[in-house]
Amino acid sequence: MSNSDNTIETIETIETILREATAAVARHDIDGLMAMFHDVPQTFVYDFSPPRRIDLTELRESFTAMTEAAQGPLTCEVVEVATDVLADDIAWTAAIMHVTASMKDESELNITYRATDLWRKIDGRWAVIHEHASMPVNPLTGQADLQSTP
């Protein structure tokens, strides 16, 4: 983009949307979380848990199951985020996310994962059209690094 003021404003807008979505997780607000995604069949996610590729209906079901399994508050925070505006209507973010919760089965959820989102400005609104969430895996042991340590 040629106008740096527009670029800065776009980055701030996108990162605000991302942080609002993570705040929705703490409130168990599925609609608030899903608001960051462009709600069309072409939007899809490569999630860190099976199945490999899911659509928005499946993503909503996954988020709902997670919030229902939690006992009390969930936390979801953006640890790091880098945003790059590629054009007036397209951008991407690469984020490190941290999620914690006490689960009803008495286990503790404490994961740090990576999320790369492709954003598109459609009808004046920025929304995610593709997300890829992952955790590093040691290829020699097959074990996931749930804390995403460097």
36 lies in a domain?
A: yes
The CATH number of whichever domain residue 115 belongs to comes to 3.10.450.50
- Residue 133: φ, ψ to 5°: -110, 140
Any domain includes 11:
yes
**pLDDT, tens digit, 9 for 90 and up, residues 62-98:** 889 888 999 878 899 999 999 999 999 999 999 999 9
Determine the average pLDDT of the residues in 10-18: 97
Residue 3 has a pLDDT of 59
Please report whether residue 25 resides in a domain. yes
Q: Count Cβ atoms below 10 Å from residue 147 Cβ, excluding itself.
A: 13
Residue-level pLDDT at 2: 47
pLDDT in tens, 90-144: 999 999 999 999 999 999 999 999 999 999 999 999 999 999 988 878 888 888 7
Domain that holds residue 34: 4-134
Tell me if 64 is assigned to some domain: yes
Q: Give the chain's domain count.
A: 1
Residue 143 within a domain? no
Residue 1 has pLDDT above 50, yes or no: no
Q: What is the pTM of this model?
A: 0.87
Residue 141 placed within a domain: no
126, 92 contact by CB (below 8 A): no
Is residue 35 in a domain? yes
